[in-house]
């Protein structure tokens, strides 16, 4: 399984980030522009994930995204697990939107 740090992903121009956390987690903190499909919905929503580019998969700290990355790879996607998840992203000082934006 391919992995990348949040800092590495942040340097990729136009990186497609797939956030597999639950909706309540995304409401607390999110990366603007990331696609959100909860891990439990990934199988039925697979057609929404782009096949023509690398997909960087993110969750809270990296466990669920590792599962999603393995599944996506088995389905022929170029998928990369973001180590440390959104916690690592935040700790690296990278942009995170906190709260639901209301």
Residue tagged active-site, from 20, 42, 59, 82: 59
Distance, in Å, from the CA atom of 77 to the CA atom of 7, rounded to the nearest integer, reads 22
In order of 27, 36, 39, 73, 98, the CA distances from 93 in angstroms are: 19, 21, 25, 29, 13
At 13 the three-state DSSP class reads coil
Indicate if 65 belongs to the active site: no
Give catalytic residue positions. 59
């Amino acid at each position: 399984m391919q992995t990348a740090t949040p800092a590495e992903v942040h340097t990729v121009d136009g990186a497609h980030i797939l956030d597999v956390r639950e909706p309540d987690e995304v409401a607390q903190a999110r990366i603007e522009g990331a696609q959100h499909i909860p891990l439990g919905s990934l199988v039925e929503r697979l057609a929404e994930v782009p096949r023509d580019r690398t997909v960087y998969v993110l969750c809270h700290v990296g466990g669920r995204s590792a599962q999603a990355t393995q599944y996506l790879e088995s389905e022929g996607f170029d998928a990369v697990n973001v180590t440390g998840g959104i916690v690592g992203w935040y700790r690296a000082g990278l942009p995170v939107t906190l709260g639901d934006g209301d």
